[in-house]
Structure 1
């Protein structure tokens, strides 16, 4: 599916874009305003880059890897926004902290589930290697072994992963927490919550797409709806991405496919072609065709394994970013708590001992 026209990026006057997030009678200093504008524009550009230009990109392991890379960049950007806002954690509302910590745990669980599924899929590569080894031989016994391994691979790939199934309920809970928290009397706080809303929308959307692809079902694929009144600079890009990808995933599953992963489907096609050729343990008379099918399987297996490895590394990277952000918040909270305790004790004329 090619893009029919150049993406239309919204252009809003600054006052209109942020009027709804600021307290009445307040004005936003230039630095926080610029930080928010820069963040939203970068998020929009990042989402446009994920909009597939071709249907064959949906859903490939390479597209999944780019999607997780995009999440890594966005989660890194929000740290820069917090730094530019000069809005210390000690000024956060306790509800913001609770929501952030709760959501970060859920994201870590999702990363673990995705890594588990990628590892499970990669285990099938050993079966394919065994198949290819036996197909190199001409004995009936080894051809029968290859046939058995081909059947074993298909059973392995079609099995379900409970961890990924559990992702769906985790994502549902994250979706319920998407709404912007109420912020009173803090322009910087409203800006921070607005930026974090963009992070959460992109994160939930992409994780939902990947979970649906891994689960082999579109029934839990969710279409997120964002408030158009927010005038988010990334809104058009997000809507286009969600429509393109979700529509294609649903269309693919309607055809009866058990997987929408392009690389996995290519290997499965080769396996289906080789199964009748090896079932009787007799080498087919169509020698050239048989060798072509073996070559197809070898190439497909290599692409699948390489794609799974690269995606696994990106998921691990995202896990570390989420974990480091969570650790940094907890560390800042401890420092803030300690400083507050020191100030209180000094006021009482007490001395704290350091061990």
Structure 2
């Protein structure tokens, strides 16, 4: 994305001529095809690594895996930017519909990041509440029992905004067609990833199902296999995070131990689970905040270039 935007300021003066495309010669078509294949290969490699990091037969998704999944977005963004530079086709040359699709995608992505941040804030508050309850164990066991509550599922605060529909026809023999095919893949992965992350953080399959409707252009075997596994876990086994289940189990054990009066080991176990939970939630939050800033800055720079084209 950074490479893409760096080229805008240098090449925006060509905007008025971006409708005058010429038929590509065989060598140009071959080069375009090679660039698209390289992009698709990068996407497949990323999806395959994520698939291999999934434990076969696992019934729960972990925060560690969710963080790796979220990391697909910046990697695919960079692969898309590299493609645009390789084929020498910056946004200044794009058709209006493609520019609008790109801007719409980045806007929805920012809204999804906000929803993810809100869900992470909920988990942060839950951790603080449990940490406070844990601090009361020694001096006031009864008060600790009252405050030791499991981390409950959280619904997404509002309906997820729908993405733009995929074009029914695509021309892939020139730069515009190649770029649009890659744009569709980037957009689809962004929505798909955000849906998975939200479903895991909220313990609710709805975000994944809603975002899954807008996935297109991802017909490689790695995606099909990975998506099938995730769908099975989310829809059939539930989308409760591994760390959340373990923490809730530790809460139940500590409450039972407090009632019996022998709670030292249970308290230590829960403290360890809280530390892991805090570290993983904070790590994902940092990545979401960083990517939000990066996408927002890129979008603002693009909008500014559209408003004030250079001579």
Say yes or no: does 1:101 pair with 2:86: no
Instruction: Give the C-alpha shift of residue 213 in structure 1.
Output: 2.1
Please list the CA deviations of residues 148-182 of structure 1 after superposition, one character each: whole Å capped at 9, or x if unmatched.
2213xx3xx32635xx342x522xx12xx251475
Distance in 1 between residues matched to 2:47 and 2:112, nearest whole Å = 21
Distance in 1 between residues matched to 2:268 and 2:117, nearest whole Å = 29
Change (3 A) 1:183 1:48: closer
Partner of 1:268: 248
TM-score (norm 1): 0.72
Gaps of 5+ in 2: 1-21
Partner of 2:287: 314
Please list the CA deviations of residues 40-97 of structure 1 after superposition, one character each: whole Å capped at 9, or x if unmatched.
1010010011111344484111111111112111112211111112113222111111
Instruction: Give the C-alpha shift of residue 327 in structure 1.
Output: 2.4
Distance in 2 between residues matched to 1:53 and 1:185, nearest whole Å = 37
Contact 1:178 1:197 in 2 (8 A): no
Structure showing greater radius of gyration is: 1
- The structure with higher relative contact order (CA 8 Å, sep 6+) is 1
Partner of 2:178: 191
Instruction: Give the C-alpha shift of residue 144 in structure 1.
Output: 1.3
Secondary structure at 1:263 match in 2:
helix
Change (3 A) 1:226 1:97: closer
Equivalences for residues 1-355 of structure 1 within 5 A? 27=26, 28-51=28-51, 52-56=54-58, 58-135=60-137, 137=138, 139=139, 142-151=140-149, 154=150, 157-158=151-152, 160=154, 164-166=156-158, 168-170=159-161, 173-174=162-163, 177-180=164-167, 182=169, 187-219=174-206, 221-222=208-209, 223=212, 235-253=220-238, 260-278=240-258, 284-285=260-261, 287=262, 290-336=263-309, 338-339=310-311
Give the root-mean-square deviation of aligned CA atoms.
2.7
Gaps of 5+ in 1: 1-22, 254-258, 340-355
Contact 1:48 1:237 in 2 (8 A): yes
Change (3 A) 1:95 1:106: same
Provide the aligned length of Structure 1 versus Structure 2: 285
